[in-house]
Amino acid sequence: MKFKRKNVNVVDASKTKKTVVATGIGNAIEWFDFGLYAQLAVIISMNFFGNMPKEIQLASTFAVFAFAFIVRPIGGIFFSHLGDKHGRKVVLSTTIIMMALSTLALGLLPTQHQIGIWAPILLLIVRMVQSFSTGGEYAGAMTYIAEISPDKARGKLGSGLEIGTLSGSILAAALVGIMYAVLSDEQMASWGWRIPFIIAAPLGIIGVYLRNNLDESPAYETSLEEQEELEYSYKDIFRKYWRDIIVCFTGVAFLNVANYMVLSYMPSFLNGTIDLGGTMSSILSTLTMAAMIPAVFFFGWYSDKVGNKNTILFGLIGFSLFSVLAFWLMSIPSIPVIIMGLFIIALFMSTFEGVMPSVLPSIFYTKVRLRTLSLVYNIGAAIFGGLTPFILTTLVETTGQKIAPSYYLTFINVVGLLIFLFMFKTTSNKSLKGSYPNVDNKEDLQEVYENPKDALWWNKDEGTKKS
Q: What is the pLDDT of residues 157-176, one digit of tens each?
A: 999 888 988 888 888 888 88
String of DSSP letters for 180-225: HHHS-HHHIIIIITHHHHHTHHHHHHHHHHHHTTPPPPHHHHT-TT
d(CA 319, CA 349): 8
The whole-model pTM stands at 0.81
pLDDT at 216: 55
* Main-chain phi, psi angles of 35, to 5 degrees: -65, -40
Of 364, 359, 366, the closest CA to residue 84 belongs to 366
CA-to-CA dists, residue 430 to 160, 444, 446, 452, angstroms: 19, 12, 15, 12
pLDDT at 268: 73
pLDDT at 87: 60
Task: For the domain covering 12-216+232-464, report its CATH number.
Answer: 1.20.1250.20
Residue 86 amino acid letter: H
Q: Any idea what the Cα angle at residue 20 is, between residues 106 and 36, rounded to 5°?
A: 20
Identify the segments of the chain with pLDDT beneath 50: 224-230, 463-464, 466-467
pLDDT at 352: 94
d(CA 237, CA 135): 19
Number of helices and strands in the chain (H, E): 24, 2
Q: Give the whole-number percent of the chain exceeding pLDDT 70.
A: 90
Cβ 121 vs Cβ 68: under 8 Å:
no
With b meaning 16 or more CB within 10 Å and e meaning fewer, what string describes 415-424? ebbebbeeeb
Q: What is the pLDDT of residues 267-278, one digit of tens each?
A: 777 876 777 776
pLDDT at 466: 44
